[in-house]
Amino acid sequence: MNITRLLAFLSIYLIWGSTYLLNKIAVGQLEPFMLAGVRFLSASFLMFLIVKVSSKSLKVTLVQLKNAAIAGFLFLAIGNGVVVWALSYVDSGLAALTIASQPLIVLLLLWIIENKRIKLFSWVGVFVGLLGMYLLISQNQITSSPESLKGIIMIIGCVITWGYASIFVGKAELPKNYLVNSAYQMFFGSLWLILMSMIKQEHWISPDEWEINVKWSMLGLIIFGSIVAFTSFNYLLRTVSPEKVATSTYINPIVAMVLGYLVLKETISTQSVVAAVVLLTGVYFINMKRDPRVYLRARAMKRLK
């Protein structure tokens, strides 16, 4: 693995794991779609500026522009904006753990949409992953709270949308430059989010009225969560398979749960820990490269020799 790809993976593993905490802090004062809209609009302007300063061209075709608008809607307006909204109802660690089912969803979507064959170990992973999801959402703290259940259902919908968007972006004609690609996606995503904020009639708060911890959270979300991590994500989607990119969900929930516990004093139930182990075991099986049937066949041939 080259150094650029390694840094890109570390970015989506660690930075995105911390964005659950940052979003949870910010949504404590700011409305969710307003928060996400300002975040991505600010990040897109900064990225357009970076592209211009580096003497790169912002020129794109109409098809690339249309696909960037679609990707921005799927990834950022729905896949991110609705998750931020859901954080009003559930803990950041629980949200990240639910999103850990993404490789499972991507695998099933590839099977349904592209008729991609699923290996034996992957089927085992699907079964184990679904069991982990059941353990996660069947907890009393969720089933007994309509608001928590509402948040989890919203996040599961976002996981499906994000999974489909990952497949779409892997094949769609988009700007070749990863910075330009991310900038346009974030720009259109922010417009969708601002429109959603207006439809929901959210109350907008001026930045000079933001609490200091909200200001720092927004700064981290704009620079690291958006510019660094989202650009790394787009780079990886065009250079490796969607299933490999989805492995970020191994690390994200662990980072989110630890930070949520340390900073926000969120509780981590025993059932959540068990669900995390089961779910991530399923993700591990889904991403195993070697088909066990190939291994057994090789062992049989070796015995014959």
For residue 64, how many C-alpha atoms fall within 13 Å in the half-sphere facing its CB? 14
Higher pLDDT, 266 or 236: 236
Average pLDDT over residues 248-275: 81
Average pLDDT over residues 217-237: 89
What pLDDT score was predicted for residue 176? 85
Q: Say how many C-beta atoms besides its own lie within 10 A of residue 265's C-beta.
A: 7
Q: Say how many C-beta atoms besides its own lie within 10 A of residue 179's C-beta.
A: 19
What pLDDT score was predicted for residue 1? 60
Q: How many domains does the chain have?
A: 1
Average pLDDT over residues 203-232: 92
Q: pLDDT confidence of 300, banded at 50, 70, 90?
A: very low
What pLDDT score was predicted for residue 187? 95
Percent with pLDDT over 90 in the chain: 30
Higher pLDDT, 99 or 75: 75
What pLDDT score was predicted for residue 142? 66
pLDDT tens sequence across 278-295: 877 877 777 665 544 444
Residues with Cβ within 8 Å of residue 255, at least 6 apart in sequence: 13, 14, 17, 18, 96
What pLDDT score was predicted for residue 294? 45
Q: Which of 7, 95, 16 is nearest to 255 (CA)?
A: 16
What pLDDT score was predicted for residue 162? 84
Average pLDDT over residues 23-37: 93
Q: pLDDT confidence of 130, banded at 50, 70, 90?
A: confident
Average pLDDT over residues 158-171: 86
Q: pLDDT confidence of 210, banded at 50, 70, 90?
A: very high
What pLDDT score was predicted for residue 111? 84
What span, in angstroms and rounded, lies between the C-alpha atoms of 98 and 75?
Answer: 17
What pLDDT score was predicted for residue 296? 42
Q: Read off the amino acid at residue 228.
A: V
What pLDDT score was predicted for residue 243? 66
The residue segments making up the domain with residue 158 are 3-304
Average pLDDT over residues 19-38: 93
pLDDT tens sequence across 42-67: 999 999 999 889 888 888 999 999 99
Higher pLDDT, 241 or 202: 202
Average pLDDT over residues 69-77: 92
* 120-137 vs 92-99: helix crossing angle, rounded to 10: 160
What pLDDT score was predicted for residue 195? 95
- 158 has a pLDDT exceeding 80: yes
What pLDDT score was predicted for residue 295? 40
Are the CB atoms for 29 and 209 separated by under 8 Å? no
Q: pLDDT confidence of 151, banded at 50, 70, 90?
A: confident
What pLDDT score was predicted for residue 293? 47
DSSP of the chain, one letter per residue?
A: --HHHHHHHHIIIIIHHHHHHHHHHHTTTS-HHHHHHHHHHHHHHHHHHHHHHTT------HHHHHHHHHHHIIIIIITTHHHHHHTTTS-HHHHHHHHTTHHHHHHHHHHHHH-PPPPHHHHHHHHHHHHHHHHHHTSHHHHT-HHHHHHHHHHHHHHHHHHHHHHHHHHS---SSHHHHHHHHHHHHHHHHHHHHHHTTPPP--GGGS-HHHHHHHHHIIIIIIIIHHHHHHHHHHHS-HHHHTTHHHHHHHHHHHHHHHHS-----HHHHHHHHHHHHHHHHHT--S-HHHHHHHHHHHHH-
What span, in angstroms and rounded, lies between the C-alpha atoms of 252 and 301?
Answer: 41
Query: Is the entire prediction scored with pTM above 0.85?
Result: no
- 297 has a pLDDT exceeding 50: no
For 171, list phi and psi in degrees, rounded to 5. Answer: -120, -20
What pLDDT score was predicted for residue 299? 44
